[in-house]
Structure 1
Amino acid sequence: MVLQRLLRGQARPTVRGAAEAALWGLKSIKGSCHNFCTAAFKDVTYKELKNLLNSKKIMLIDVRERWEILVYGKIPGSINIPLDEVGEALQMNAEDFKQRYKEVQPSKSDSVVFSCLAGVRSKKALYTALSLGFHSAQHYAGGWKEWETCEFSEKKQGN
């Protein structure tokens, strides 16, 4: 619980928080949220994401809940790891990750992009990834809402 509040920016790291994280098998987040949340990063635009997906040079992780994916759809090529599971998933051993998510686990040097509905949860996932050493992580701030709008617009224009 402390770890979740820390990731939401509602708590500062404490010995108790680090101990709780250790009990869950998670690595402690060093320093305050401010230290990694203010790290410079660049949001990925719709066009950039589309090009990255076509090049197959990224792993796109949709952090919405599973029911949202089923009801509203997802960006083609994305995998679903709900926000509550991101920290644990990025620290799993490769075999467990493959079994649970049916994909090869990204390494800390891989390009990973997080998305959600409108950019709030993906930014939280980004902060988690950065704190765990995934320095090439980014997020798609437009999320599913922008993707769906842009895709509809492109299809309507015949692109």
Structure 2
Amino acid sequence: MASRRAFVRLSIRSSASAIVRKPFCSPQTSSHHGLRAQLSPAPAAQFQQIRWHSAPPSNSKVYNYEQVKAIVESPSDDTVLIDVREPSEYEAGYIPTALNVPISSQPDALFLAPDEFQDRFGFIKPPPQKTLVFYCKAGVRSSAAAQLALQHGYQKVGEYRGSWLDWNKRGGEESREGPRGHKGGEAPV
């Protein structure tokens, strides 16, 4: 006894940008149940990349361009701007005053003992009472770094969601003076 349920698969025709329903069963069965359907060609859809962020951690502050610019223009001993991109990205250009602590290749950085942190990165590990503001290229890695900082006990944590792409787009000052914030750099904290 044949099943009354017909299985349908979807295939995408890239040339016409249409979705076509094709039955897995024979044409006789599918036409009997009225499943032989074809959608008319749809206009070509425009796709763009969307970056999703998880909700900011409860104690993480989201910074915008103007707030980060104020940090750069009036550096404070209480606030540390941290670039979490990889060293090659950092050396190509970074926000002035930022230190480099790459989150992808060094995810344990904030969990290191102060002396081990200084040996690895070449500058003093920021103490827990300082405000840490993280940025990356587009805001995804900075969100992860903010969550790690909160897990490690930092109370004042922020993230610049627009990150490097927003900074460049808005004409923010760029540094390329040479590597800071990793082995060999000078960066008092």
Q: Same-fold call, TM > 0.5?
A: yes
Alpha-carbon separation, structure 2, partners of 1:48 and 1:136:
15
1:68 to 79, 89, 96: 89
Alpha-carbon separation, structure 2, partners of 1:69 and 1:120:
16
Q: Unpaired runs of 5+ in structure 1?
A: 1-33, 154-159
Counterparts in 2 of 1:110-125, with a 5 A limit? 110-125=130-145
- Pairwise CA distance, 1:86: 5.2
The one-letter code of the counterpart of 1:90 is L
C-alpha change, 1:74 and 1:95, in structure 2 (3 Å) is: same
Alpha-carbon separation, structure 1, partners of 2:132 and 2:60:
12
In the other structure, the counterpart of 1:43 is 62
The one-letter code of the counterpart of 2:84 is V
1:140 to 141, 152, 160: 160
Alpha-carbon separation, structure 2, partners of 1:132 and 1:113:
15
Alpha-carbon separation, structure 1, partners of 2:141 and 2:83:
9
C-alpha change, 1:127 and 1:86, in structure 2 (3 Å) is: farther
Alpha-carbon separation, structure 1, partners of 2:57 and 2:156:
15
| 1:20-42 residue CA offsets vs partner (Å, 9 max, x unmatched) | xxxxxxxxxxxxxx9x9642432
Alpha-carbon separation, structure 1, partners of 2:63 and 2:143:
11
Q: Unpaired runs of 5+ in structure 2?
A: 1-53, 174-189
* Contact 2:59-2:155 within 8 A present in 1 as well: no
Alpha-carbon separation, structure 2, partners of 1:103 and 1:83:
16
The structure whose Rg is larger is 2
RMSD of aligned Cα (Å): 2.4
Partner-residue secondary structure (3-state), 1:106: coil
Seq. identity, %: 31
C-alpha change, 1:52 and 1:70, in structure 2 (3 Å) is: closer
Greater strand share, 1 or 2? 2
Normalised by the length of structure 1, the TM-score is 0.65
- Pairwise CA distance, 1:62: 0.8
Normalised by the length of structure 2, the TM-score is 0.55
Greater helix share, 1 or 2? 1
Equivalenced residue count is 118
